[in-house]
């Protein structure tokens, strides 16, 4: 079904917009809200554009970009903030990866869960 990278959500500091992929609308509203807050706060703090994308193997990646003319974009702060988010939201991110691998890639839930625990 999905072979390329799939965007889960993202925020854009330049357009003051948030995007959520409606293919994931079955996620609980509380998780959707948490993703919304996380992405918007990131772009308010760091500037630029942040997207959360699944790679071909179902891993969730943080992708950032900024306009060359954006003097407010903090590249070092971006790397540090993403590391912090990965640590703070580890359980959420792992759950989102499991969700994607089972419901979008068609993997067996128990086997996938065992793989992630190892």
- CA-wise closest residue to 104 among 56, 66, 63: 56
In a domain, 37, yes or no: yes
For residue 1, what pLDDT band results from cuts at 50, 70 and 90?
A: very low
Which residues 6+ apart lie within 8 Å of 16 measured at CB?
none
Number of domains in the chain: 1
pLDDT value at position 116? 66
- Tokens 């959500």 -> residue: 9
Question: What is residue 33's three-state secondary structure?
Answer: helix
Which residues 6+ apart lie within 8 Å of 80 measured at CB?
none
Structure tokens at 17: 């917009």
Distance of alpha carbon 65 from alpha carbon 63, whole angstroms: 7
Whether the per-residue pLDDT at 118 is higher than 80: the answer is no
In a domain, 1, yes or no: no
pLDDT in tens, 59-87: 999 999 999 999 999 999 999 999 999 99
In a domain, 27, yes or no: yes
Q: What range does the domain containing 80 cover?
A: 6-117
């Amino acid at each position: 079904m999905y072979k390329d990278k799939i965007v889960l959500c993202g925020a854009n500091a330049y357009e003051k917009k948030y995007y959520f992929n409606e293919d994931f609308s079955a996620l609980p509203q509380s998780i959707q809200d948490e993703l919304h807050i996380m992405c918007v706060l990131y772009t308010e703090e760091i500037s630029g554009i942040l997207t959360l994308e699944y790679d071909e193997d179902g891993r969730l990646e943080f992708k950032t970009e900024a306009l060359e003319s954006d003097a407010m974009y903090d590249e070092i702060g971006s790397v540090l903030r993403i590391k912090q988010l990965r640590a703070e939201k580890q359980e959420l991110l792992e759950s989102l990866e499991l969700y994607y691998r089972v419901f979008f890639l068609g993997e067996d839930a128990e086997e996938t869960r065992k793989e992630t625990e190892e």
